Amino acid sequence: MNEAERNPIRSLPSGVPGFDTVVGGGLPEFSFNLIAGGPGSGKTILAHQIMFANATVERPALYFTVLGEPTLKMLRYQRQFKYFDPDLAGSAIHFINLSAEVMDRNLGDVLARIVSETERAKPGIVVVDSFRTIGGQSGSGVPPIELDQFVQRLALHLTTWETTSFLLGEYAVEEQRNPVFTVADGIFWLSQATDRNSVVRKLQVIKTRGRAPMPGLHTFRITDDGLQVFPRIPEHTRLRHEQQRRRLSTGVPGLDEMIGGGVVAGDAVMLTGPAGSGKSTVATQFIAEGLKQGETGVIAVFEEYPEDYLARADARDSEVGDMIRSGKLELIYLRPLDLSVDEALAAILEAVQRLKATRIVIDSLSGFEVALAPTFREDFRESLYRLVGTLTATGVTVFMTAEVPEGFSDAKFTSEKVSFITDEILVQRYVEIEGELLRVMAVIKVRGSDHSHEFRLYEITENGVVVGGPLKEYDGIITGVPTLRSLPSRPKRSK
């Protein structure tokens, strides 16, 4: 059957970033939907956002308010959001109060009022908030069969009048035998869960007729702009871009040679090391080198304020600041303590696509993990696997830093939690030689390529990290306290 024979259903844009992706391409036109969730879960905001995105004077939206939040208060609060356009209220959007009909507990009157207002305005969108108060509560006195018939007739009328409708209600998961769940074409479930001190909001598409929604729970956030949904990333649904194993310079003198000619384009690279070892410095050099080559980049910082990061980067390489100002480089600051991996990915991907970035720095994974809501920290490995997979699938080269605790009696090369997701692993560590604390670097892994197996000294200079020579005359570097094997002279430090 071809496209025309299928008579495809047109999709309405929800106006909610990320929502259409989760729903499977937008809201089916003329569908009868339920937006369910507990108090404060964002039902009214979602409905308003959809309404303001679609209402026109020719095809207005009718927002029926019932008992519950008084309309005056709802308008007062809703207009605080940026999507609320007061010019549309009264012309393209009409608020209609049904409390009189509902208080009489006469579903026939409620239906008649909704139908007559629909016939009068010929709306494109109809919202009933809260539908639950119309008769869906136990003890409401409305016989179930009457409620069944009411829902059936309402759905029939609204669809016949070619409206896309949304019923809002505070339903619990165990109430899914309510007739409205059966009749609804789409069910969108909003929830918020508290875990320790953080609150995480999630959206689940229970069903959308005629669409293939993304399964699972998708986090969302409510800001002044309204809802923003962060679709849960499916595991590697896209093919990784074909790279020609092109090598990218790190911008760190001496390091490219250790890696075998530079970082492989499209790889996920991780640099681990203890505090103060210069991880962020190398990461910034990696980005700065890309900028020098005419590439664009994105830096996601989790441990420092962007101003501090920029000031430090500018002190070494004034081009970094210039590139940010000229839009070649974007500094993303993600430091809330209730972040989800999907939200971070959405922010990074948006910047990558906008800048057509080829290099990304995530500085650092340790800070990233701390910024996540506790519930997501439990799934950090799995989430990071999806994040890195999605980013590298776009063809960008991802450079991540991770802090590992320094122990002089053992060598912890990488953060064991996340090393499996990387193609290349570089490590930094401190060693004590002749009573002085020096820094060494080694390459642990470069997938599919030869690389240096030496520990090399490096220094952090005013121009950044500079890699020096190997410590060939020492044994036991891995312990942090090497011993001189043959030559009595102190190792030469790089200039």
Q: How far is the CB of 77 from other proteins (least distance, A)?
A: 10
User: Measured from the CB atom, is 94 or 439 closer to other proteins?
Assistant: 94
- Alpha-carbon gap, residue 146 to 450, rounded angstroms: 74
| Whole-number Cα distances in Å, 86 to 72, 76, 93 | 14, 11, 9
Q: How far is the CB of 75 from other proteins (least distance, A)?
A: 5
- Alpha-carbon gap, residue 153 to 262, rounded angstroms: 67
Coil/strand/helix, residue 241: coil
Interaction site with other proteins (CB under 8 A): 65, 70-72, 75-76, 79, 86-87, 89-91, 94-97, 99-100
| Whole-number Cα distances in Å, 221 to 94, 129, 283 | 27, 21, 30
DSSP string, 335-383: --TTB-HHHHHHHHHHHHHHHT-SEEEEE-HHHHHHHB-HHHHTTHHHH
DSSP string, 9-74: PPEE--SSTTHHHHHTSSEETT-EEEEEESTTSSHHHHHHHHHHHH--SSS-EEEEE-SSS-HHHH
User: Measured from the CB atom, is 72 or 437 closer to other proteins?
Assistant: 72
User: Measured from the CB atom, is 89 or 134 closer to other proteins?
Assistant: 89
CB neighbours of residue 304 within 10 Å? 17
Coil/strand/helix, residue 471: coil
User: Measured from the CB atom, is 76 or 490 closer to other proteins?
Assistant: 76
Side chain identity at residue 218, one-letter code = H
Q: How far is the CB of 35 from other proteins (least distance, A)?
A: 21
User: Measured from the CB atom, is 80 or 223 closer to other proteins?
Assistant: 80
Q: How far is the CB of 64 from other proteins (least distance, A)?
A: 11
Q: How far is the CB of 73 from other proteins (least distance, A)?
A: 8
Q: How far is the CB of 170 from other proteins (least distance, A)?
A: 19
Place of tokens 């060494």: 440
Q: How far is the CB of 97 from other proteins (least distance, A)?
A: 4
Residue 351 near residue 332, CB atoms below 8 Å: yes
Coil/strand/helix, residue 385: helix
User: Measured from the CB atom, is 70 or 407 closer to other proteins?
Assistant: 70
User: Measured from the CB atom, is 60 or 213 closer to other proteins?
Assistant: 60
